[in-house]
Amino acid sequence: MESNLSLQIERAAHEEFFRLWAEGRFVHQRLGQAFYNHFNLHKLADQASLQGLYEADGEKASRLIMRLFHLH
């Protein structure tokens, strides 16, 4: 089921996160977990829309991020 969530992240912040990820700054974290923590997504009231992101890694996490977040 597609999410109707319309979360926005600045493109520069998104790119900075992935630069840090590539540098290995999130040791011992899955991609989804690192993204969730880096952007403090625990503060969002609608946690159901983020279901599965924290647990996801690799390509699955990348797909979820691109589906859930609009870059501007």
**Model confidence over 7-44: pLDDT tens digits?**
999 999 999 999 999 999 999 999 999 999 999 999 99
Per-residue pLDDT band for 2 (boundaries 50, 70, 90) equals: very low
Work out whether the CA dihedral 21, 25, 31, 37 comes out positive or negative. Answer: negative
Q: Is 44 left (phi over 0), alpha (psi -120 to 50) or beta?
A: beta
Q: Give the closest residue to 13 by CA, choosing from 65, 67, 55.
A: 65
| pTM recorded for the entire structure | 0.90
C-alpha–C-alpha distance, residues 8 and 41, integer Å: 12
Q: Which residues pair with 7 in a beta bridge?
A: 69
